[in-house]
Structure 1
Amino acid sequence: MIDRKNTTKRMVTLAMFCAIIGVLGMTNVGFIPLPLVKATTMHIPVILGAILLGPKAGALFGFIFGLCSMWQNTFNATSIISFVFSPFSPELDGVGDVLKSIWVTMGCRILLGVVAGLLWKLLKDTKLKRSLSLPIVALTSSVFHTITVMGSIFLLFSEKYAQAKDVAHDAVFGLILTTVTASGIPEAIAAAIIVTALALALFKIVKYEDPKEE
C-alpha cells in the first residue's frame, strides 16, 4: 500500500513538473531574449524537480527543457545565434554541425538535471542543513549548466559564432565570458533563492514514506 501510494505521488509530481517545464518552454517566461543569447528560467524547475525526484527524473526534465529550447530556436528564432540551439537551422553545415547543435541544446540540458539530482543525493544525508545544502545544489547546478552550454558553444561553434556576431574570432571568448557573467550569474542567484524556498515548502507536501533512491 505504501509503495503504491509513493508511486502515485511520484507520478503526479513527475507529470506536474513536465507540464510546468513545457508551459514555460512554450512562452517567453521560460526564455527571455537578450542581445547576446536568450536567458532562461527553465533551469529552475529542472533543478527543483531533480532534487525532489532524483537524477533519472532530472534527466527527463532536462530532456523536455532541451526540446523546448529546440522548438523556440527553430520556430521563434529571435537571436542571431539561434542556429546553435536548432539542429534544423539552414546555417549548419552537415551532420557534424547538427550533432553539435543537438549536444548543446539537448545534452547540456539533460546533464543539468542529472547533476542536480546527484548533487542533492550527495548532500542530503550530510550534516548540512537543508537551508544551506539546497542553495549549494541550485547554485552549483545552474553555474554548471551555463558553463557547459557556453563552453560548448565556444569549443564547437566559435567560428560560426564570430561570423554571426560579425567580430574577430579572437573576440569570441570575451563575448562568451560576458554572456556567462551577464546572464549566468543572475540565473544562478535566482535558482538558489527560488529552488530553496520552493523545495523547503514542497518537502513538507510531497513527502514519500520509505522512499527508494532513484
Structure 2
Amino acid sequence: MKTATRNPINSELSHSRTSFMVKLALMVAIIFVMAFSPLGYLRTPGLTITFLTVPVAVGAIILGPTAGAICGAAFGITSAIMALTGGSAFSAALLQINPFGLMFTCLVPRILEGWLSGLIFQLVRKFSKNGAYFAASLACPLLNTLFFMSSLVLFFYHTEYIQNIASGLGAANPLIFVILFVGLQGAIEAVACTILGSAVSRALSAAFRQ
C-alpha cells in the first residue's frame, strides 16, 4: 500500500499564502480599529489629521502592492462608512450633493495610494533598502492628499458647498484652495507617516526576516 507523501514545495507555498492572508487580515483589522477609535484621527478645531496612512504604508511595504491596495480600500471603506453614518459632517454634506462622487473620492484615491506605495518600495529597494522604507512611507500620505484633493476638486469644486469654503479661505482657484484647505494638515500627515511607517515597517521586516 502506497502512502501519500507531501510535496515540500506545495507545503511551503501553502504556508506562505496562509501567512500572507493572516498578516493582511491583521493590517485591515488595525485600520478598522484605528478608524473608529481616537487612534485614527487627531481632531482639532481647525484640522482633522488622519494616521490611517500609516498601516496602509506598512501593509504596502511588508506585503506588496496588492496588499497595499487592499489596505487602502479598507481605509476608503471606513471613510465611506463615516459619511453614511454621519461620522464626518464634511463627507455627509458631500454625500447629499453627489453620492457617486463621494464614494469615488473615498475609495479610489486610497486604493491607488496603497498600490503605488508598494510599487515605489519595490522600485527604490533595488537601489537602497533603507531608502525604500522612507520613500514608500512618505509617498503614501502625499499620494493620499494628491489623489483625494484631485477627486474632491473634480467632483465638488464648483458646488455651492465647496465654493463657500473656498470663499471663506480666500481661494481664487482650485490650486490655491487645495493648498489652503490641506496644506498644513497634509504636511503633518506626511511627517507622521514617514516617521512611524518607516520605523514600524523596518521593525516588522526584521521580525519577518524579509
> For the superposition of Structure 1 and Structure 2, which TM-score range results when normalised by the shorter chain?
0.7 to 0.9
SS of 2:152's equivalent in the other structure is helix
2:106: which partner in 1?
Answer: 105
1:197: which partner in 2?
Answer: 199
Structure 1 runs (4+) deviating above 4 angstroms are 34-37
Q: Is the 8 A contact 1:80 1:164 kept in 2?
A: no
Change (3 A) 1:38 1:71: farther
Post-superposition offset of 1:9: 1.6
Which is higher, the Rg of structure 1 or of structure 2?
A: 2
Q: What are the within-5 Å matches in structure 2 for residues 35-50 of structure 1?
A: 35=45, 38-50=48-60
Letter in 1 for 2:120: L
1:133: which partner in 2?
Answer: 132
CA deviation string 1:72-105 (max 9, x = no partner)? 2332434445433xxxx3x31xxxx222111110
CA distance in 1, matches of 2:85, 2:43: 14
CA distance in 2, matches of 1:141, 1:19: 19
SS of 1:135's equivalent in the other structure is helix
Q: Is the 8 A contact 1:62 1:112 kept in 2?
A: yes
Q: Is the 8 A contact 2:69 2:113 kept in 1?
A: yes
Q: Is the 8 A contact 1:81 1:161 kept in 2?
A: no
SS of 2:172's equivalent in the other structure is helix
1:18 paired with 2:28, answer yes
Change (3 A) 1:173 1:124: closer
Q: Is the 8 A contact 2:69 2:111 kept in 1?
A: yes
SS of 1:32's equivalent in the other structure is strand
Q: What are the within-5 Å matches in structure 2 for residues 2-151 of structure 1?
A: 2-35=12-45, 38-80=48-90, 82-84=92-94, 89=95, 91-92=96-97, 97-126=98-127, 128=128, 130-151=129-150
1:188: which partner in 2?
Answer: 190
Change (3 A) 1:31 1:181: same
Greater relative contact order structure (CA < 8 Å, 6+ sep): 1
Change (3 A) 1:58 1:50: same
1:211: which partner in 2?
Answer: none
SS of 1:170's equivalent in the other structure is coil
Normalised TM-score (structure 1): 0.81
Structure having the higher helix fraction is: 2
CA distance in 2, matches of 1:45, 1:143: 15
Normalised TM-score (structure 2): 0.83
Letter in 1 for 2:40: G
Q: Is the 8 A contact 2:56 2:72 kept in 1?
A: yes
Q: Is the 8 A contact 1:147 1:180 kept in 2?
A: no
Count matched residues.
197
Change (3 A) 1:66 1:151: same
Post-superposition offset of 1:121: 1.6
CA distance in 1, matches of 2:155, 2:51: 24
Structure 2 runs not aligned, ≥5 long: 1-10
Change (3 A) 1:52 1:203: same
Q: Is the 8 A contact 1:9 1:206 kept in 2?
A: no
CA deviation string 1:38-69 (max 9, x = no partner)? 32111110111011111111111111101101
Between 15-24 and 198-207, report the one with greater CA deviation. 198-207
